[in-house]
Structure 1
Amino acid sequence: MAKPSDASAEPVVLARVPAFRLGAVQVDPPLLQAVCGDRSETLEPRVMQVLVALAEARGRIVTRDELIARCWDGRVVGEGAIHRVTSRIRHLAADLGGGSFQLENIPRVGYRLLEDGRPLPPADRAADVDTPAAGTAQAGAADPAAPGPAADAGTPRRPRRIPVLAVLATVLALLATAVWWPHPPAQSLPDARPMPALAVLPFRTLAPGARDELLEQGMAETLIAQLSASDAIRVHALGSAQRLAMQNPDPLRVAQALQADYVVDGTVQARQDRVRVNVRLLSMPQGTVAWSDTFDADAGAVFGLQDDIAGAVSQALALKLPAPSLAHRSPCDGGDAALYRQYLGARHLLHAPTPERLHRAIAMFRQILERDPLCARAWAGQAFAWRTLAIIGENPPAQSFPLAEAAIEHALALDPNLVEAHAEIGFKRFWFDWDWAGAEQALQRAIALNPSSVDARRAYAHLLSNLGEGERALEQMELARRLDPMSPLNNALYGQFMAAAGRADQARHQLDHTLQLAPDFWIALLHLGGMEMQRGDFEAAIASLTRATEHSGRNAVALSALASAHAKAGQRDRAEAILRELEQRAATSYVRPSRLAAVEVALGRHERALDLLEQAYRERDLGLTFLRVDSGWNPLRQEPRFIALSERMGLYAEHAVGW
């Protein structure tokens, strides 16, 4: 194969390129064929040219200009043409290739091919193998000397030479990954940096009468927030540990279920106006006490012990934590126990967000800020609540997001390194501004500040999935799911992103697992019903979507999906009845125009659907962020108005497989 610097200057001539393997797919450029097992696909010449150009680059990023020079003879080419070709390659990778190779889009830079989530090895490290798939075990097992595209068809084919040290390093890396690997029901992606995991259990109050749940959770959440700043340990979210502890409070059982290497638990005991906190660090799997200590404080200053406890635990684990910044501390951070309790109560309302709970949380955060206007976390909590009201479809985006932005600005002015605020910037740029690069930058910043932030990783996964970066999305969502494996939302979104990446069987399996955790979780029922509708099982789809509608309180997203299922099943009267219900609701409250458009598409009224999508664009409808990956829009993808809209948003795709 020619070196990238040579190949990048030459047009791709398919007749000169020998067959090569890419992941599980054997590619024959002269015949325009891609074969995997007993299945094959014929590619358009332009698609095959681009695939060859990317394969010859061997993991190097190929710019848009280079693709145009090599595959379009340097002619002027619109973004739509490139999008159509790259979308076809992604579809080939997901469908025929089974995800064994991927096409990565580096925004504003270019494209490169990946195998199993990793770039193809560069030419000077390819062990003299003329195949772009030289690094994959699967390709090697199928064809040890598979040829690859070359600048000269007469180049001799040589046997594969695999460096012994490289093999040894790979084996050791796989063994290390296996040690910490959780066992999800669906196929997962490997973690490039396996690390020890820590779970913090809710502290237990030792007192007669009712438990002090806010105190128990507050001590644990504070400790988790501080320890999460380390990039040397994975700190589980409290939600999963709490759910498991409710089933069985034995720390060893919780650690085993979470595959944690360490567990922190503790007790809090009030004695008149003093509080004693006992904390211990257990090492797994035996449950050996690695460290323990007792801390005493005035009852009103119990949350002020957080720095001492976190410092002692980190020292026992040999972790280096950032020094706590006193400049950004305010009474709501623990100095005022009553105010901190109020903050914890408001945060608790955000864990299961309904319109009523979100409005209550906003009111509570407002009360906190009246007493402590320097409480940066309360400002960030307000931002969370306002943008969530838009995400669940309760508020128009143009009403909620400016309020969220104002709250974010207050939070960052008080604490420039507040993780929650940077995550909220990412949410706003993603859902409202449609600034994909800016959203990615903000979410990466939040993750850098707190590698164990479930919210930031989940948002980043969602962004990547909606941009068509399925494999990268699954990597981030797997990390979020590991941090909070019992979360129904994490598990449901993992299934959703699998479907968008073309992994339909794994997605169904994952959604079934989610419904085992939470049988009435409507988001999982929604996506399961969508996938059943995709495969033509309308009876099952209507049953799942009816349950989703009931358990969501007749949420407009669930209702529109149910109407679409009825329409595709030939039950137009039922679909029209639901559409009328949504239109009547839209006359008095907010309903996303994209939800009405989805029903119109299912009913075959494409012009009306396109009108509604244009309205959705003007209103910054959050549903438009799914244009690239939602298969419900496939009937419109050749319509000029739809192409123009999706290209305007940078979300054009010829075909989608997600729901």
Structure 2
Amino acid sequence: MVRQLTAIMFADMVGYTALMQENEVRAKDDLDRARRVMVQRVDEHQGQILQYYGDGALGTFQSAIGAVEAAIAIQADLKGPPQIPMRIGLHTGDIIHDEEGVFGDGVNLASRVQGLSIPGGILVSEKVFDEIKNQTRIETRSMGSFALKNVKRPMELWAVTNPGIEVPDPKRMGSRPSQSRNSVAVLPFLNMSPDPENEFFSDGITEELINALTRINGLQVTARTSSFAFKGREQDVRTIASELGVATVLEGSVRKAGDRVRITAQLINAEDGYHLFSKNYDRELLDLFQTQDEIAETIANELEDRFRPGPPTAESDEGLGPSAVTDSGAEAEPVPGVLPETHPGGAPPRPSETRGKHGSHFHDAEAYTQFLKGVHRFNYWTPEDARAAIRHFQRSLELDPSCALPHSGLANAYTFLAATGQMPGEVAYSRAKEAAQRGLDLEEGAGEAHAAMATVLFFHDWDFKGAYKHFQKALTLTPGSAHLRRLYAMYLNATGDSEAALDELEWALEMDPLSSPIRSALGEALMKGGRYQEAADQFRRVLEIDPEFRAAREMLGWAHMWTGRPREALHEWEEINRRTEDPFKVIPHRIWALVALGRTDEADQLLQLLEERRRREPEIALEMDFALAHLGLGQTELTLDYLERAVDRKLGMVVFLKVIPPIQRLADHPRFLKLLEKVGIPENRTDIS
């Protein structure tokens, strides 16, 4: 057994497991190349590879300077096409090395540092920084202090910033200090009644509780999509809380007998599984929906004090307010993006005081079910699913015309079809605007209705200022809605504020961590910022949850394209054709891949197939498809011809002209600049607000 003080390097290949599932040969080739590069560069800097861990490696060096220089050389080598995403972390500490392997506190800490890095990045600990800080050829920047597992105090980490090295944003580094205690997930309440028809009532209680708790100022509440993903699953509460990223879980049951109902609610501390609150509520069931509302508001009001800032209450010493101390000993961070509100008397309103009118509530069980089915279909972001969603929303309104939410759903679905050219714009936008306005008429205080109007103004009217006002109103009314923050992030991206868009999407993902639409949107935002490997990781995670989520597979193909992997891109896009059994899907995308692979004859054949689609489906606007196809073929002027036609037809997707990665190569072309001016896309969001 040998104990020594040494500079330790931990490195691992990002996305290797997912790549193995997609293309075993490519994954093996990439891993072999990465190992060859590491062995060569480590040896050149007087180091040695002591152990391989699947797609990762552990190396040691005689000096911290040599370790950092080797890491820089490794990342530079792995940049060259095809790019191999590698994360590297460095620390100086004790290791123990014997015939069974390498271990010790130094190894563990180097692993923790590496886990916070990003593809193409290098992070170092304080000890390494102390040894390299006077080396002018090594550039670094502090990322701030982080609470690392099994480390008693927060540790400052530094990023190597030499040219070509990816530098993480400290606000978005993969692991943050411990989850704020001011967070809760409401699990679907269990129906304990003998009649399965009462399932709707128990689900309704859960829904209303989520809505009511969302209105508590400063409380982070997991969205419905992620909470209901655990319905019917027998899992430990602590496991669920860890997956959802919350400190507390609210669960319960509903037992109905005749005209009486008993609801049991329990708030559980995720860290140790102990109950922080438990209570029964007995009610006479006079009106189904009114009882749901009243019970949800009662429970929310009783829990509110536990989530407010200030000293612990007499019932609990947990201190669940924003000033509570986290597991790491640091103060919990405030929820990003929400400014403290001011209210008469200094106290925020209780949930029951912030309720809107009746328009956001259903009075018919089947109407509510149809609405949820519509939301589910629309979230797949495909023309077929949008049309199916419209049918569900229309059926919901037939059963319950007084509810605002299906009108907002209709507006969003029609806007999507118009923006993507799948329905004549003059028809779709007219219907969208009518539905959005009807939602506002039914409930002016509904955030969803304002967001629906914002998207119509954004995509069709190109009224960026008007859209901004409606988005702000929507977020003021419903600050805890992950869905609204996703829509707002889309707007921010188009109007030039990509950093704010990422902030919104990351917060949305914290609220709804299992949402495929939000995670896919986060990937798109990362890709628009040139962070292709991080984007690809997000798309793969979506597809692991839902292989049929077409938008993520489509964008994963583009991520492969921009990192020198046209063969993998073509594989993803052909998989879409296979799954949909539709040869017309993603034709422009496949043209790009085929051109990159030198298969130009096949690319030309696909262009002819696109022409055939235009003849078969004259009602669909294909100007953006043709523009993208001709750009892939290197035909700039034809590309601009089609973009001009898209603008003339007011196709909604032209609002993204500045940020669509393939089209960004036209950024300085005079004809393209005129198009941007015609659409009125602002230089940045400050020009609007």
TM-score range, shorter chain: 0.5 to 0.7
In structure 1, the residue corresponding to 2:352 is in which secondary structure?
coil
Pair 1:256–1:619, CA change in 2 (3 A)? same
Displacement after TM superposition at 1:303 (Å):
5.7
Pair 1:504–1:351, CA change in 2 (3 A)? closer
Equivalent of 1:381 in 409, 427, 430: 409
Report the Cα distance in structure 1 between the residues aligned to 2:581 and 2:286, rounded to whole angstroms. Answer: 42
Aligned partner of 1:595 in structure 2 is 625
Displacement after TM superposition at 1:581 (Å):
3.0
> CA offsets, 1:159-190, max 9 Å, x none?
xxxxxxxx99999xx979x9xxxxx9x84597
Q: Which moved more, 1:241-250 or 1:565-574?
A: 241-250
Equivalent of 2:291 in 304, 309, 317: 304
In structure 2, the residue corresponding to 1:317 is in which secondary structure?
helix
Matched, 1:262 2:236: no
Matched, 1:219 2:249: no
Aligned partner of 1:508 in structure 2 is 536
Matched, 1:492 2:520: yes
Report the Cα distance in structure 2 between the residues aligned to 1:343 and 1:219, rounded to whole angstroms. Answer: 17
Report the Cα distance in structure 1 between the residues aligned to 2:410 and 2:585, rounded to whole angstroms. Answer: 24
Pair 1:568–1:443, CA change in 2 (3 A)? same
Matched, 1:580 2:608: yes
Displacement after TM superposition at 1:341 (Å):
4.7
Aligned residues of 1:203 and 1:268 also touching (Cα < 8 A): yes
Residue identity in the other structure for 1:224: I
Pair 1:464–1:335, CA change in 2 (3 A)? closer
Pair 1:555–1:197, CA change in 2 (3 A)? farther
Equivalent of 1:294 in 263, 276, 281: 281
Aligned partner of 2:222 in structure 1 is 236
Displacement after TM superposition at 1:347 (Å):
4.2
1:432-471 alignment, distance < 5 Å: 432-471=460-499
Report the Cα distance in structure 2 between the residues aligned to 1:545 and 1:229, rounded to whole angstroms. Answer: 42
Pair 1:372–1:232, CA change in 2 (3 A)? same
Pair 1:551–1:424, CA change in 2 (3 A)? farther
Report the Cα distance in structure 2 between the residues aligned to 1:509 and 1:362, rounded to whole angstroms. Answer: 32
Pair 1:144–1:480, CA change in 2 (3 A)? farther
Aligned partner of 1:206 in structure 2 is 192
Residue identity in the other structure for 2:270: M
1:73-222 alignment, distance < 5 Å: 187-188=173-174, 196-208=182-194, 214-222=200-208
Report the Cα distance in structure 1 between the residues aligned to 2:175 and 2:429, rounded to whole angstroms. Answer: 34
Report the Cα distance in structure 2 between the residues aligned to 1:263 and 1:342, rounded to whole angstroms. Answer: 28
Report the Cα distance in structure 2 between the residues aligned to 1:499 and 1:326, rounded to whole angstroms. Answer: 39
Displacement after TM superposition at 1:343 (Å):
4.2
Aligned partner of 2:644 in structure 1 is 614
Pair 1:470–1:370, CA change in 2 (3 A)? closer
Residue identity in the other structure for 1:304: T
In structure 1, the residue corresponding to 2:301 is in which secondary structure?
helix
In structure 2, the residue corresponding to 1:266 is in which secondary structure?
strand
Aligned residues of 2:421 and 2:651 also touching (Cα < 8 A): no
Aligned residues of 2:420 and 2:651 also touching (Cα < 8 A): no
> CA offsets, 1:265-307, max 9 Å, x none?
2222332454433322223322332132224343851563223
Displacement after TM superposition at 1:577 (Å):
3.0
Aligned residues of 1:99 and 1:502 also touching (Cα < 8 A): no
> CA offsets, 1:35-77, max 9 Å, x none?
xx99xxxxxxxxxxxxxxxxxxxxxxxxxxxxxxxxxxxxxxx
Displacement after TM superposition at 1:615 (Å):
0.9
Residue identity in the other structure for 2:565: D
Aligned residues of 1:195 and 1:232 also touching (Cα < 8 A): no
Residue identity in the other structure for 1:305: Q
Percentage of matched positions with identical amino acids: 27
Residue identity in the other structure for 1:220: T
In structure 2, the residue corresponding to 1:260 is in which secondary structure?
coil
Report the Cα distance in structure 1 between the residues aligned to 2:466 and 2:254, rounded to whole angstroms. Answer: 44
Report the Cα distance in structure 2 between the residues aligned to 1:564 and 1:316, rounded to whole angstroms. Answer: 55
Residue identity in the other structure for 2:470: A
Equivalent of 1:637 in 642, 662, 667: 667
Equivalent of 1:362 in 366, 377, 390: 390
Equivalent of 2:510 in 438, 463, 482: 482
Pair 1:302–1:434, CA change in 2 (3 A)? closer
Pair 1:635–1:503, CA change in 2 (3 A)? closer
Report the Cα distance in structure 1 between the residues aligned to 2:592 and 2:421, rounded to whole angstroms. Answer: 18
Residue identity in the other structure for 1:308: I
Displacement after TM superposition at 1:573 (Å):
3.0
Report the Cα distance in structure 1 between the residues aligned to 2:384 and 2:366, rounded to whole angstroms. Answer: 24
Report the Cα distance in structure 2 between the residues aligned to 1:346 and 1:537, rounded to whole angstroms. Answer: 36
Aligned residues of 1:300 and 1:337 also touching (Cα < 8 A): no
Displacement after TM superposition at 1:213 (Å):
5.3
Aligned residues of 2:451 and 2:484 also touching (Cα < 8 A): yes
Aligned residues of 1:369 and 1:378 also touching (Cα < 8 A): yes
In structure 2, the residue corresponding to 1:199 is in which secondary structure?
strand
Residue identity in the other structure for 2:302: Q
Displacement after TM superposition at 1:263 (Å):
1.5
Aligned residues of 1:394 and 1:590 also touching (Cα < 8 A): yes
1:319-330 alignment, distance < 5 Å: 320-323=349-352, 328-329=357-358
Report the Cα distance in structure 2 between the residues aligned to 1:262 and 1:499, rounded to whole angstroms. Answer: 34
Pair 1:231–1:581, CA change in 2 (3 A)? farther
Displacement after TM superposition at 1:234 (Å):
0.8
CA RMSD of aligned residues (A): 4.2
Pair 1:495–1:356, CA change in 2 (3 A)? closer
Aligned residues of 2:377 and 2:385 also touching (Cα < 8 A): yes
In structure 2, the residue corresponding to 1:604 is in which secondary structure?
coil
Equivalent of 1:276 in 251, 258, 262: 262
Aligned residues of 2:367 and 2:395 also touching (Cα < 8 A): no
Matched, 1:250 2:227: no
Structure 1 residue runs without a partner (length 5+): 1-36, 39-96, 101-137, 146-166, 179-183, 654-659
Report the Cα distance in structure 2 between the residues aligned to 1:212 and 1:578, rounded to whole angstroms. Answer: 53
Pair 1:142–1:412, CA change in 2 (3 A)? farther
Pair 1:322–1:616, CA change in 2 (3 A)? same
Structure 2 residue runs without a partner (length 5+): 1-71, 74-119, 124-128, 137-143, 158-169, 309-348, 684-689
Report the Cα distance in structure 1 between the residues aligned to 2:122 and 2:441, rounded to whole angstroms. Answer: 44
In structure 1, the residue corresponding to 2:264 is in which secondary structure?
strand
> CA offsets, 1:134-164, max 9 Å, x none?
xxxx9xx96899xxxxxxxxxxxxxxxxxxx
In structure 2, the residue corresponding to 1:323 is in which secondary structure?
helix
Residue identity in the other structure for 2:476: A
Aligned residues of 2:486 and 2:518 also touching (Cα < 8 A): yes
In structure 2, the residue corresponding to 1:485 is in which secondary structure?
coil
Report the Cα distance in structure 1 between the residues aligned to 2:146 and 2:570, rounded to whole angstroms. Answer: 50
Equivalent of 2:424 in 387, 396, 401: 396
Aligned residues of 1:496 and 1:507 also touching (Cα < 8 A): yes
Q: Which moved more, 1:466-475 or 1:556-565?
A: 556-565
Displacement after TM superposition at 1:352 (Å):
4.2
Q: Which moved more, 1:512-521 or 1:335-344?
A: 335-344
Aligned residues of 1:346 and 1:365 also touching (Cα < 8 A): yes
Quick one: higher RCO (CA 8 Å, sep 6+), 1 or 2? 1
Displacement after TM superposition at 1:334 (Å):
4.5
Residue identity in the other structure for 2:666: L
Report the Cα distance in structure 1 between the residues aligned to 2:585 and 2:181, rounded to whole angstroms. Answer: 39
Aligned residues: 497
Residue identity in the other structure for 2:405: R
Aligned residues of 1:237 and 1:484 also touching (Cα < 8 A): yes
Report the Cα distance in structure 2 between the residues aligned to 1:632 and 1:430, rounded to whole angstroms. Answer: 22
Report the Cα distance in structure 2 between the residues aligned to 1:421 and 1:619, rounded to whole angstroms. Answer: 26
Equivalent of 1:413 in 438, 441, 449: 441
